[in-house]
Amino acid sequence: MPNVSARANIALIKYWGKRDSDLNLPAAGSLSLTLEALETQTSVELNEAEADLFFLHGEPADANATARVSRFLDLIRARGSRRERAIVKSSNSFPTAAGLASSASAFAALAKAACVAYEVEADDRELSILARQGSGSAARSVFGGFARMHAGHQPNGNDAFAEPFEGSKLTLGAVIAVARTGAKAVGSTEGMERTRETSPYHDAWIHQVDADLEECQLALREGDFDRLARVVEGSCLAMHANAMAARPGLIYLGAPTLWAIDRVRQLRAQGLPVCFTIDAGPHLVAFTPLASMGAVADGLKGHPDVAEIMTTGPGVGARIEANPPAGASQ
């Protein structure tokens, strides 16, 4: 029974908007950093039962999550010759569905574990294409370090995959100010569709992404942190401005998020190389060189609604592990 680990990633240049929602094709590219501490472990065991079973942290998952996993397994079964149902066991090293990109690590790990279990041969590019169909950001978690997602043009999505981005002179880690809230109010799929359908800013947002991707890659290659900070924060704030302009508007930022934005900018003004991004939830992620992670973590302490500060370096891509997942037994 294959046991696979994958780590979540956080985008420096954001993905927000699909060109095809059935195949989960992004309307624009994105660029992310895979993070060591945000790990999912998943095992897939073929089974003669009538339905797929999905256990999260040792407990049977709810019907929606199980249906999503089962639909994903259908994609894998359609590519191979084995048709059995499966028992999927998964556990995360971090809070699930708190807006911390758990779907990215989940579907990257599931894609690889399921391909092994169903004897489907897939190289990393094919795994990225498969993972994308579970969750857009999962395409990037197949890879370690920085990953660049291509939007592609083909209607079948065969050119919509991620690949490693090499040549950065900056080695970055992340300091995450975890806000004291539960699961996000409007998930990314629904949020993206609402934004595409109703935000007057959406075309301008999509149009800007290519230039931001170029700028981000240049800043990383040149090791120019100030340049990086400008484009990373610009991409994040433009994504949120676009989402806020949807009707009804999507507000993912909370009071501790705004407080943390201000802190990051104060720390940078004091000379620390640090910049922020925020996904579809209230947690702020600060990117900073590894040597500054401690100082940034200290600087982000002190708000009553920041429940926890996590620090993590870059992580590796999806890989097969020798041992069964901890806590995944039922």
Binding site for ligand PMV (CB under 6 A): 11, 14-16, 30, 103, 135-137, 188-189, 279-280
Shortest CB 188 distance to ligand PMV, Å:
4
Nearest to 300 by CA among 283, 281, 315: 283
Residue type, 148: R
Q: How many CB atoms lie within 10 A of CB 190?
A: 12
Reading phi first (left if > 0) and then psi (alpha if -120 to 50, else beta), residue 163 is in beta
Residue 117 or 216 having the CB closest to ligand PMV: 216
141 with 108: CB under 8 angstroms? yes
Residue 106 or 117 having the CB closest to ligand PMV: 106
Residue 47 or 189 having the CB closest to ligand PMV: 189
Report the alpha-carbon angle 236-41-294, nearest 5: 50
d(CA 43, CA 87): 8
Shortest CB 220 distance to ligand PMV, Å:
16
Shortest CB 102 distance to ligand PMV, Å:
9
d(CA 208, CA 39): 31
Residue 3 or 137 having the CB closest to ligand PMV: 137
Shortest CB 37 distance to ligand PMV, Å:
17
Shortest CB 11 distance to ligand PMV, Å:
3
d(CA 101, CA 97): 7
Residue 40 or 188 having the CB closest to ligand PMV: 188
Residue 16 or 72 having the CB closest to ligand PMV: 16
Residue 7 or 292 having the CB closest to ligand PMV: 7
Shortest CB 189 distance to ligand PMV, Å:
6
Shortest CB 17 distance to ligand PMV, Å:
10
Q: Which two tokens stand for residue 42?
A: 């998943």
Residue 41 or 137 having the CB closest to ligand PMV: 137
Shortest CB 78 distance to ligand PMV, Å:
22
